[in-house]
Chains A and B, each alone.
Chain A
Amino acid sequence: MDVHELTAAYALDALDADEAEAYEAHLAQCESCRVELAELSETAAALAFGVDSPAPPGRLRGAILDAAAAERANVVPLPHRAWGFRVAAAAAAVAACAAVGLGVWGATRTTTKTEALSAVVVVGADRHATLTVSGLAAAPQGKTYEAWVIPPGGRARPAGLFAGGGKTVVHLQGTVPSGATVAATIEHAGGASAPTSAPVITAQA
């Protein structure tokens, strides 16, 4: 049977894990399946309204919000705006952001950027973290961005390379201790063992 014909079963969550995986791979390449799935998923979700709906225990709401707050305690998204400022302005922004634990330096050297630069560090309970960057121009030929984790009072530790351009999610190598700073610099392709240039972004975890 054609994978194409699995749309209804997928919408109902009636596929086994391997079938669902195959279908999702197909979905990435099949526009008509995506359209059909959107429709059938909406109908499947409507079935949820067909059953009795007793009030959930009152504690559930608080439990969800507490867990959400705990997960995102270290996350401070940057405002979406163009960061076309010079370094002096950036330093002021760092000071202004200190209260919420996040700073951005120098963005890029250009002042003509139109896309908003944002950098968000998400630190999990196990102290592993991701750095999500968008609006950062692709690294020049022969160069790479390198992420760093800088423990309080410690030296920068390499935490991964990324190319920039579009939205990039970097799974930072190692853990991010409390109070650490996460930064990214431009380095020669292949990366460096210590930063050799001023950071283009920094964020405090």
Chain B
Amino acid sequence: MSRPLAHLSDEALVLLAARSEQSALAELYDRYGRIAYGLALRVLRDERLAEDAVQEGFLALWRTAARFVPERGKASTWILTLVHRRAVDTVRREQRRRADSLERAPEVAVDGVEEHAWLRLQRERVQHALRQLPDTQREALELAYYGGFSQSELAERLGQPLGTIKSRMFAGLARMRELLGEPGMEMSWTSTS
């Protein structure tokens, strides 16, 4: 597949997308579509719903690209936030999926040859960092981010005061930031070809 914009930064691509440059949207999808889909699938446990969340997220990017402010954060963060938000909105409407969200995610069949080594490396690093968190913090982050539970739902589910849940989420995220900020951890897109 020819990727004429492969040399551009994510942020430059968003600026092009803001000017209706469709190939810029295509390139952003080629960089983050797979990660976004994996995330949506983890939250929603349903391929069709995950596809919808990814599509809605990328279309939100397309519609609002002109409002992106590079100084406020990375384009990749923004894209994943857009997709995650839609996935969470959907899972909160789909009550039947909530019941099993506390369980371990089913192993998704991933073709080891097909999956990029870079993605595998990132996954191992994030999972390694998560394992270093205290159990209560890890649980709060995983249920919130991967399970789509709101803080009030978590408080009820875990039988803890809301303030405790907030503290766990904050401490867990802050600790993850430290762990992931260590040298060698760069989450932005890099060429895998």
Contact = CB atoms under 8 A, between A and B. Distances in A.
**Residue with the greatest number of chain B CB neighbours at <10 A, chosen from A6, A12, A75:** A12
B177 A39 contact: yes
Given A8-B170, A14-B169, A53-B37, A67 B145 contact: no
Given A50-B123, A64-B29, A72 B176 contact: no
Nearest to A42: B77
B22 interface: yes
A49 B36 CA distance: 9
Contact of A53 (B25, B51, B109, B123): B123
B142 to A, nearest CB: 8
A51 to B, nearest CB: 4
Contacts of B81: 13, 41, 44-45
Contact of B149 (A11, A14, A55): A14
A61 B141 contact: no
A6 B36 contact: no
Contacts of B163: 1
A7 B174 CA distance: 11
Contact of A55 (B25, B114, B123): B114
Interface string B120-164: 001101110010000000000100111011111010000000110
B132 to A, nearest CB: 13
A12 B144 contact: yes
Nearest to A12: B144
- The A interface is mostly helix, strand or loop, or mixed, namely helix
Nearest to B176: A43
Contacts of A46: 126, 176, 180, 187
Contacts of B84: 13, 44-45, 48
A9 B59 contact: no
Contacts of B177: 39-40, 42-43
B99 interface: no
Interface in A1-37: 1, 5-9, 11-16, 19, 34
A68 interface: yes
Contacts of B97: none
Contact of A42 (B74, B108, B114): B74
11 contacts: A5-B170, A15-B151, A46-B126, A47-B176, A49-B119, A51-B123, A53-B115, A55-B114, A56-B50, A56-B51, A63-B55
Given A8-B166, A48-B35, A53-B115, 10 more contacts: A8-B174, A43-B177, A46-B126, A51-B41, A51-B42, A54-B108, A56-B50, A60-B54, A61-B26, A68-B25
Interface of B: 19-20, 22, 25-26, 29-30, 33-39, 41-42, 47, 50-51, 54-55, 58-59, 62-63, 72-74, 76-77, 80-81, 84-85, 88, 105, 107-111, 114-115, 119, 122-123, 125-127, 130, 141, 144-146, 148-152, 154, 162-163, 166, 169-170, 172-174, 176-177, 180, 187
